[in-house]
Structure 1
Amino acid sequence: MSLVIKNLTKQYNKEKTGLSDYSITIEKGILGLLGPNGAGKSTLMKIIATISKPTRGTLFLDGQDIVNNPDYIRRIMGYLPQDFGVYPNLNAYEFLEYIAALKGVGGAGLRKRIDMLLEGVNLTADAKRPIGSYSGGMKQRIGIAQALLNDPKVLIFDEPTVGLDPEERVRFRQLISDLADDCIIILSSHIVSDIETIADEVAIMKNGMLLDKAIQPEIIGHVDGKVFETMLENSDLHAFKAKHLIINTTRQKEKTKVRYITKTPESETASTPVSATLEDAYLFLTHNNA
């Protein structure tokens, strides 16, 4: 199974472009989408989910044109949008049975599947409470469950870990990893660690364009040998930031530990080379393609 996207453009008006001549091929496994706000991640996902139509370009799933034949992907797709809404008066069972009916999912095994999904997102104990009484994280988990109802072969998750605590994020990653061998999974997140731990490939976006798509070691290769750490006097930090791309800083009493990217480390400070990470590469690529 493969999704082939060519020259995809979404023009909202003369001033606003969501995607610009975007081409990518997505195979089975987990593709992590990374990009700053406004990069076009949600626009891309809405077009793949056939909620929005592109201005130009083509999308083919296994040779089928899903722009002109959206039902081909809809019947095998699960989708969790960023602005997922629920029916507050329904409990989890009622809500999932309603979504199942909309998706044409039924039969004797439906209740068993709902039970399995509720267990997978850790909502079994709260399944009979009205969803309106749920916390934000619990509502997000019911959203994840509804996306999996129809045993989809294409899964689209837009910021799925928003509102989840660290333990719930781990459960989500395990749940998705178990599905990756048989599905195309597209996962957008601003939390780099969520992508880093489960994505087979990473696509980095900015301003509606694809900057790079590769396996993680190849993405990280952009900054191999360019990441350093040093200790600075707090009074020197502002001047240092003006000259280098800072990844993060950690204050330690009178001094600050600085992680930064450069081709030539500061000779005036004792800089130590450190192993590059996906976050380093992401910040480097989006900063250098301003």
Structure 2
Amino acid sequence: MALLINNLSKQYNVQKTAVSNFSIQINKGVLGLLGPNGAGKSTLMKIIATISKPSGGTLLLDGIDIVQNPNYIRKVLGYLPQDFGVYPNLNAYEFLEYIAAMKGLGGKGLRQRIDLLLEGVNLTADAKRPIGTYSGGMKQRIGIAQALLNDPKVLIFDEPTVGLDPEERMRFRQLIADLAQDSIIILSSHIVSDIETIADEVAIMQEGKLITHAPQYEIIKQAEGRIFEVLLDNADLNSFKNQHKVIGTARQGDKISVRYISKAGVVAPLSVQVTATLEDAYMFLTQHNS
């Protein structure tokens, strides 16, 4: 199974192009989708999910045009949008049974499937409570469960770990890892560590365009030799930020450890080169292309 996207574009008006000449082939496994706010990630995923139509380009799943034949992907699709909504008066069982009916699912195995999914997202103990009483993280977990109802072969998750605590995020990552062998999974998140943990490949978008797509280790390699750390006095931090792209800071006693990207090979005195991470590479590539 493969999803081939060729020269995809989405233009809302003369001033706003959300996706521009986007081309990529997505195979089985986990594709991590990164990009700043407004990069076009959610628009791209809505188009793949056939909720929105592109202005141009083609999308082929196993050679079938899913713009012209949207039901071909819909029957194997699981989708969790960023703005996922629930029916607050329904409990988890009732909600998932409702979503199953919307997807044309039924039969003797449905209740067992729902039980397994609720266990997988750690909601069994709260399954009979109205969803309106759930916390934000619990609602997000019921959203993950509904995306998995039809045993999908194409899964699209838009910011799936928002509101989840560290233990829940770990459980989600394990769930995705178990599914990745047989499914195409597209995972968009601003939490780079989530993608770093589970993504086989990474695609980075900026201003509607694809700026890079490769296995994760190749993305990281692009930032090698450009990431440094240095200890500074508090008073020097603001002026340092004016000269270097700071990725992060951490207090060490009466000083501050600063992780930064060297610009044009300029390195501050007493700096130490450090091993690049995916977050470093993401920051390097997006600032390099801006």
- By the TM > 0.5 criterion, same fold? yes
Question: 1:228 touches 1:265 (CA, 8 Å); kept in 2?
Answer: no
After TM superposition, the structure 1 = structure 2 runs for residues 164-203 of structure 1, keeping only pairs within 5 Å, are 164-203=164-203
Alpha-carbon separation, structure 1, partners of 2:123 and 2:112: 14
Answer with 239-248 or 88-97: which moved more.
239-248
Alpha-carbon separation, structure 1, partners of 2:146 and 2:267: 52
Alpha-carbon separation, structure 2, partners of 1:15 and 1:100: 40
Deviation string, structure 1 residues 222-253 (Cα, Å, up to 9, x no partner): 11111111001222222221221111112335
Counterpart for residue 93 of structure 2: 93
Alpha-carbon separation, structure 1, partners of 2:130 and 2:226: 52
Shift in Å at residue 264 of structure 1? 3.2
Deviation string, structure 1 residues 28-60 (Cα, Å, up to 9, x no partner): 000000011001000000000000000011000
Alpha-carbon separation, structure 2, partners of 1:275 and 1:253: 23
Counterpart for residue 126 of structure 1: 126
Alpha-carbon separation, structure 2, partners of 1:266 and 1:53: 47
Deviation string, structure 1 residues 143-174 (Cα, Å, up to 9, x no partner): 00000000000000000000000000000000
Deviation string, structure 1 residues 186-221 (Cα, Å, up to 9, x no partner): 000000000000000000111000010111110001
Alpha-carbon separation, structure 1, partners of 2:175 and 2:252: 38
Counterpart for residue 48 of structure 1: 48
Counterpart for residue 264 of structure 1: 265
Alpha-carbon separation, structure 1, partners of 2:7 and 2:181: 28
Answer with 175-184 or 258-267: which moved more.
258-267
- For 1:237, the aligned partner's letter is L
- For 2:227, the aligned partner's letter is V
Deviation string, structure 1 residues 68-104 (Cα, Å, up to 9, x no partner): 1000000000000000000001000000001001101
Counterpart for residue 7 of structure 2: 7
- For 2:210, the aligned partner's letter is L
Report the TM-score when normalising by structure 2. Answer: 0.98
Q: How many residue pairs align between the two structures?
A: 289
User: Which ranges of structure 2 fall in alignment gaps of 5 or more residues?
Assistant: none
After TM superposition, the structure 1 = structure 2 runs for residues 1-290 of structure 1, keeping only pairs within 5 Å, are 1-262=1-262, 264-266=265-267, 269-290=269-290
Question: 1:5 touches 1:59 (CA, 8 Å); kept in 2?
Answer: yes
Deviation string, structure 1 residues 104-150 (Cα, Å, up to 9, x no partner): 11111000000000000000000000000000000000000000000
Question: 1:265 touches 1:271 (CA, 8 Å); kept in 2?
Answer: no
User: Which ranges of structure 1 fall in alignment gaps of 5 or more residues?
Assistant: none
Q: Which runs of 4+ in 1 moved over 4 A?
A: none
Shift in Å at residue 265 of structure 1? 5.0
> What RMSD, in angstroms, separates the aligned Cα atoms of the two structures?
1.0
- For 2:49, the aligned partner's letter is A
Alpha-carbon separation, structure 2, partners of 1:30 and 1:248: 27
Alpha-carbon separation, structure 1, partners of 2:194 and 2:53: 29
The DSSP-based 3-state class of the residue aligned with 1:223 is coil
Report the TM-score when normalising by structure 1. Answer: 0.98
Question: 1:228 touches 1:272 (CA, 8 Å); kept in 2?
Answer: yes
